[in-house]
Structure 1
C-alpha cells in the first residue's frame, strides 16, 4: 500500500512540475520579460521595473553640466600635508604634485536623451554643442540662455589682464608657466552608416562628419545693453561676477565681415576640417555608436609638418587632427579661457549623430 502511495505521490509531483514548466514556457514565449541584474550583495537576481504601457512625455532638452573630480580645495589640502608633515619646500611640493598628476579637474558634459543629428548641406551643418566654464575661475553665467548658445560673432578687442582675472581665480595662482596640463574629450557619435568611398568603409579616411575644438575669451570692451538677458539677470546669481556672458568673444572659429558689405560679422566655418582643431572624425559608414577618447597634453610634441612620420600617420588613421598633438592648444590656454565643441557635417546625405560630448580640463596650482 505504501508503495502505491509513494508512486501516486511521485506521479502527482511530476505532473505539478510539468505544469509549472509549461506555464513558465508559455508565459516566457508570449509575454516580454524585463531584463534582470545581479543583486550587488549577491544571491537572487533583481528584475528591473517594467516599462509603463503609456510612454512618458518627451524629456526636457539637454543641458550642459559641470563638476569637479579633484577640486582646488583638494589640491591645497594635499599640498599643505606635504609641506607641513614632510617639511618640504614649496618648489619640491609643486614638482611632486605635478609628477603625480594630482591636478584640479573640471568636467563639462552634455547628454542627449534622444540622439541629435547635424546634417550636411543644411543651414545647421556647423552646430555649437557646449563650452567649458572660464578655466580656473570661480564664475557662473547670469543668463543660462546665453550660455547654451554660440557667442555673437564679434572680434575680441581687449583681453582682460591677469590682474583683473586674479580676483576670480578659484584658488591660488599657479607658479607654472603653463598651468593647464591636459584636455580630454569623450564623444559618443556615428555618421549616417552608409555612403562615401566604399574602399574606406569602417575607417576614418574620407569621413565628412567630425568635431572641432574652439576657443573663447572675455572682452573688456563689451557693451551689455539694459535689454540684454545677461544684464537683466546679473543680480540673480550670488556667484555671478562682473564679467557678463555677453562679453564672450570667439577666437576660433574665426569671425569675418559679412559678405556683400553688409554690416556686422559672421563665423567663418571652413569646408574641410582644420587639422589644428579637429578633435575626432566619425568612422565612415559605420552604423554602430563609437566612443572616442581623445587627450591633448601640454607636453605633446608631434610635429605635424613631418607627414611621413609614424606618429602623424597614426593620428590620421585614428581620425584625429594631425596638428593637435603638438601641445600648442593646451600650452596657450590662459585663465578665463573657454573651450567650445562644434559638430560638423558636410555634403548632402552626411549626418553627424551625437549621443554625448564631455570635456575634462586639468590644471595645476
Structure 2
C-alpha cells in the first residue's frame, strides 16, 4: 500500500502546477488519491490508510541564517531569538468539499546548532571537555543534562498579541527589546504557551543536527523527561502544542541561552506542520 501511495504521489506531483513543492502531497493530491481508492474501498477505510501512511499536506519554512544567541549580551542574562516562524495555520473548513475539515497531525522541527564549547557542570561534560583522553569516540561528547542552550516553541496567536508586533524580520532578537516576562505578555495565548524542543550538547563546539517531531498524542517512551514548570519551556509535553493550534496561528522556533557565558550558535532550521484533509 505504501508503494502504491508513493507511485500515485509521484505521478500527481510530477504534473503539479505548484512551484514550491516541499516533498509532501498537496491537498489536491490527497483528494485525487482518495477518489482513486473509492473504486476499491469505502471512504472510512481510505482515510485510515492515508493517516497510517501519513499522507498529509505540509506547511514548511526553513532558513540557513546563522545567529549567535549570547546570554552575556543581554541585560536580563537570557538571550531570546525568534529564529523561524511558520506560515499561518489554514482555516479549518474546506470550501467546496462536504463534511471535510483540516486537522493538525504533526509538527516537526529540524535544527543545527551547538553551545559555546565549554562550561557546564563537570558531570555533564564529555572527557575531552574535562581534559581527559579516551579511545572510545562514543564518550568524547557531553550530555544534554544541565544545558542552558536550547530551543523552545511558542504559538503566535495574532488575536491575543499586540497588533504592532512585526515578526517577519527574522531572525528577530526578542532579547534585545524584551525580557522573559515581556515575552509572556506578548504571547499570552494559549495558556500555557511555551514548550521545550531540544537542548544543545553541553560543552561541545561541534554543530549537531537534531530532529524533533510532535504529534497530537503524548509520547509513550519511558525515558521521556516531563517537567511542566521547566524554565526551558514545558518539557516532554509537545503534544499540547499540536492540540492547541487553531486557524490563523503560527509556530515560532525560539533559540535560547540563559545565564552568563551560555551561548546558542544556530546554523539552520526548519518547521514542518502536517495536517490531514
Shorter-chain TM-score above 0.5: yes
Aligned pairs for 1:251-262 (under 5 A) are: none
Aligned counterpart, 2:47: 94
* Superposition TM-score, scaled by structure 1 size: 0.52
Aligned counterpart, 2:9: none
Distance between the aligned counterparts of 2:62 and 2:116, measured in 1? Answer: 23
Judged with a 3 Å threshold, the aligned counterparts in structure 2 of structure 1 residues 74 and 183 are, in CA distance, closer, same or farther, namely same
Q: Does structure 1 residue 322 correspond to structure 2 residue 246?
A: no
Distance between the aligned counterparts of 1:275 and 1:337, measured in 2? Answer: 12
Question: Any conservation in 1 of the 2:120–2:147 contact (CA below 8 Å)?
Answer: yes
Q: Does structure 1 residue 128 correspond to structure 2 residue 46?
A: no
Aligned counterpart, 1:106: 59
Aligned-pair distance for 1:74?
A: 1.2
Aligned counterpart, 1:155: none
Question: Any conservation in 2 of the 1:135–1:335 contact (CA below 8 Å)?
Answer: yes
Judged with a 3 Å threshold, the aligned counterparts in structure 2 of structure 1 residues 217 and 121 are, in CA distance, closer, same or farther, namely same
Secondary structure of 1:349's aligned partner: coil
Structure 1 stretches of 5 or more lacking a match? 1-64, 138-161, 231-244, 247-252, 259-264, 303-308
Question: Any conservation in 1 of the 2:63–2:268 contact (CA below 8 Å)?
Answer: yes
Aligned counterpart, 1:70: 25
Aligned counterpart, 2:272: 360
Aligned-pair distance for 1:67?
A: 4.3
Distance between the aligned counterparts of 2:59 and 2:214, measured in 1? Answer: 15
Q: Does structure 1 residue 338 correspond to structure 2 residue 256?
A: no
Structure 2 stretches of 5 or more lacking a match? 1-19, 126-141, 169-173, 186-191
Aligned counterpart, 2:104: 180
Judged with a 3 Å threshold, the aligned counterparts in structure 2 of structure 1 residues 223 and 276 are, in CA distance, closer, same or farther, namely closer
Aligned-pair distance for 1:135?
A: 1.7
Aligned counterpart, 2:128: none
Judged with a 3 Å threshold, the aligned counterparts in structure 2 of structure 1 residues 345 and 173 are, in CA distance, closer, same or farther, namely farther
Deviations 1:131-158 (A, max 9, x none): 1111235xxxxxxxxxxxxxxxxxxxxx
Aligned counterpart, 1:49: none
Aligned counterpart, 1:213: 153
Question: Any conservation in 1 of the 2:148–2:199 contact (CA below 8 Å)?
Answer: yes
Distance between the aligned counterparts of 1:127 and 1:174, measured in 2? Answer: 41
Which fold has the larger relative contact order, with Cα–Cα distance below 8 Å and residues 6 or more apart in sequence? Answer: 2
Judged with a 3 Å threshold, the aligned counterparts in structure 2 of structure 1 residues 197 and 206 are, in CA distance, closer, same or farther, namely same
Secondary structure of 1:268's aligned partner: helix
Question: Any conservation in 2 of the 1:275–1:324 contact (CA below 8 Å)?
Answer: no
Aligned counterpart, 1:34: none
Aligned-pair distance for 1:282?
A: 0.3
Judged with a 3 Å threshold, the aligned counterparts in structure 2 of structure 1 residues 313 and 187 are, in CA distance, closer, same or farther, namely same
| Aligned residues between the structures | 220
Distance between the aligned counterparts of 2:98 and 2:72, measured in 1? Answer: 46
Deviations 1:295-334 (A, max 9, x none): 11112344xxxxxx9333499xxx9963325x22212222
Question: Any conservation in 2 of the 1:182–1:297 contact (CA below 8 Å)?
Answer: yes
Judged with a 3 Å threshold, the aligned counterparts in structure 2 of structure 1 residues 321 and 188 are, in CA distance, closer, same or farther, namely farther
Judged with a 3 Å threshold, the aligned counterparts in structure 2 of structure 1 residues 291 and 321 are, in CA distance, closer, same or farther, namely farther
C-alpha RMSD over aligned residues: 3.8
